[in-house]
Amino acid sequence: MTSLWWIRRDARLNDNPALLEAQGDGPAAAVFAWSPAVRLWSGRRRAHLARVLWSLSEDTGRSVGVRHGDPADVVLEAAREVGATVVCAQHEYSPSGLREQRAVEEALTHDGRHLRLVGSPYAVAPGRVLKADGTEYQVFTPFRRAWRDHGWRRPAAPADPRGFVPVSSDIDLDHDAALGDIQDPLGYPPPFTETAWLERLSDFVAGPLAQYTSERDLPNVDATSRMSIPLAYGQVHPRTLLAAAEDAATANPDLSASAATFTSEVAWREFHANVLFHHPDALRTSLRQVIPDDAWATGKEADDAFDAWRDGRTGFPLVDAGMREMAATGMMHNRVRMVVASFLIKDLHVPWQRGADHFRRGLLDYDDAQNQLNWQWVAGTGRDAAPYFRVFNPDGQGDKFDPLGAYVRRWLPDLDTPAYPERIVDHQQERQIALADFTRGKRPSPQS
Ligand code: FAD
């Protein structure tokens, strides 16, 4: 009996328990639903997704079906076509992923079929790591300790690339118009095959990992893994990252500290997914209110400030370089993401949601949980967030992390010319305003 693999955020052959389950009794059929939700993604992300699916299709002898439509319709239709009574898929935990899988489950059950959810996009599924009293961890460090104590399996065996029953597609992935729209900061297009990303991971572990602790904050150095891209599309599972770091440290104990720092960064990804699982409304709503509502800039003043930030024309080089890097490449270094986010919220007094929306349109590695919860972290409204009174100084951050100015010069050809914009605000003044807002926010309101 053929089973169907419903491809979700797991378009890969390696370390894929849902696919292995589907291939358990022999060749499986596979289908991806190019849903109305995907049609709302930025052109850049859609183009990358098309390449990812094209690459999976090539790896499987062009057997994978990619079809327009709601997952509930696409999956049911494909299951009927191949006679699958069981559909295997990765369990998602985001609000939209949960909604989607409930709809698919309902459609299949109605038709006498069964959805089997196997594995998740995380080393430890959200909701599983809990305190002894059964409640969620609010603070990162104890979460990370409990997460590590919980542990995870080694990566699953690779699936059989020939073990597929062909399913037809109604999307021609080769002809996706926007394929050429992405550049890489280092001058080559970002990889989009699973094999290329696994090679990149091996190269990272054999090279930059050794300096990861000291260099990962330097935006001009190729010091980080860039795995957020394949993680966002499910081409690599975080277990594979964790195993690569662990194996490197076992083979060479000098790498232990770097491997631990890298593992800790992956733990942030798991922490944010966990917070979103417990608080689905954190996608739009601050988990804590730290400043009064009337502190935000409004009207034309806010719109002009936002436009200057979005276009990389604030007159603050590190902020402008980051925004222009994202516009050109879909990527921005983590340190610079923190600086530009802090600048929008605390220097321009624009609510974090507006910045997060812009990142959704700009980032290639966009991920609901990671983006929204990182914005909340910078805004001081999230779980275990940076305190609101910590206001990044864009010049100080530049001096510290880009001391020779190589990063800002790469993205700002106009920097030392009269064309470079004047500063739109005085950082010290805006910082004082942000701190005063915070103090007001701590005072009980007259009504309470
Ligand atoms: P590495 O340093 O190699 O880290 C390894 C992995 O650890 C990353 O691939 C990532 O999965 C995880 N990681 C590292 N830093 C963080 C972090 N701060 N939070 C969560 N996970 C982390 N990341 C996304 O994947 N998607 C987003 O939409 C996103 N939006 C962000 C928005 C803001 C305002 C900020 C401050 C950060 C955001 N991040 C987001 C987190 C982080 O910037 C990226 O994951 C990181 O830049 C990816 O580079 P890398 O893969 O080379 O990281």
Full set of structural domains in the chain with CATH: 4-120 (3.40.50.620), 122-153+194-278 (1.25.40.80), 293-442 (1.10.579.10)
User: CB of 274 closer than 6 A to ligand 1?
Assistant: no
Neighbour count for residue 103 (Cβ, 10 Å): 15
Q: Which residues contact 129 (CB under 8 A, 6 or more apart)?
A: 137, 143, 146, 147, 150, 274
Q: Among residues 152, 160, 369, which one has the least CA distance to residue 240?
A: 152
Q: Which ligand 1 atom lies nearest to the CA of residue 216?
A: 2
Q: Which ligand 1 atom lies nearest to the CA of residue 266?
A: 7
* Ranges of residues in the chain whose predicted pLDDT is under 70: 174-190, 443-448
Mutate to test the pocket of ligand 1, among 228, 262, 364, 392 (most ligand atoms within 8 A of CB): 228
Calculate how far, in angstroms, residue 282's C-alpha sits from the geometric centre of ligand 1. 18
Q: Which residues contact 69 (CB under 8 A, 6 or more apart)?
A: 33, 34, 35, 77
Calculate how far, in angstroms, residue 334's C-alpha sits from the geometric centre of ligand 1. 6
Residue with tokens 């002809």: 175
Q: Which residues contact 94 (CB under 8 A, 6 or more apart)?
A: 273, 276, 277, 368, 369
Q: Output the pLDDT for position 179.
A: 47
Q: Both tokens of residue 5? A: 């693999």
Q: Output the pLDDT for position 444.
A: 59
Question: How far apart (Å, rounded) are the C-alpha atoms in residues 36 and 76?
Answer: 17
Question: How far apart (Å, rounded) are the C-alpha atoms in residues 347 and 26?
Answer: 59
User: CB of 336 closer than 6 A to ligand 1?
Assistant: no
Q: Output the pLDDT for position 189.
A: 57
Question: How far apart (Å, rounded) are the C-alpha atoms in residues 74 and 66?
Answer: 9
Residue with tokens 């959805």: 115
Contact 10, 19 (CB under 8 A): yes
Question: How far apart (Å, rounded) are the C-alpha atoms in residues 269 and 244?
Answer: 17
Q: Among residues 188, 374, 343, 415, which one has the least CA distance to residue 407?
A: 415
User: CB of 240 closer than 6 A to ligand 1?
Assistant: no
User: CB of 231 closer than 6 A to ligand 1?
Assistant: yes
User: CB of 91 closer than 6 A to ligand 1?
Assistant: no
Q: Among residues 202, 218, 183, 167, which one has the least CA distance to residue 53?
A: 167
CA 88 to chain centre: 24
Q: Which helix (H) or strand (E) holds 41?
A: none
State in Å, rounded, how far the first CA of the chain is from the last one. 64
User: CB of 335 closer than 6 A to ligand 1?
Assistant: no
User: CB of 314 closer than 6 A to ligand 1?
Assistant: no
Q: Output the pLDDT for position 187.
A: 47
User: CB of 45 closer than 6 A to ligand 1?
Assistant: no
pTM of the model: 0.96
Q: Among residues 14, 18, 357, which one has the least CA distance to residue 195?
A: 14
Q: Whose CA is nearest to atom 52 of ligand 1?
A: 226
Q: Output the pLDDT for position 178.
A: 43
Q: Which residues contact 444 (CB under 8 A, 6 or more apart)?
A: none
User: CB of 167 closer than 6 A to ligand 1?
Assistant: no
User: CB of 338 closer than 6 A to ligand 1?
Assistant: yes
Q: Output the pLDDT for position 389.
A: 85
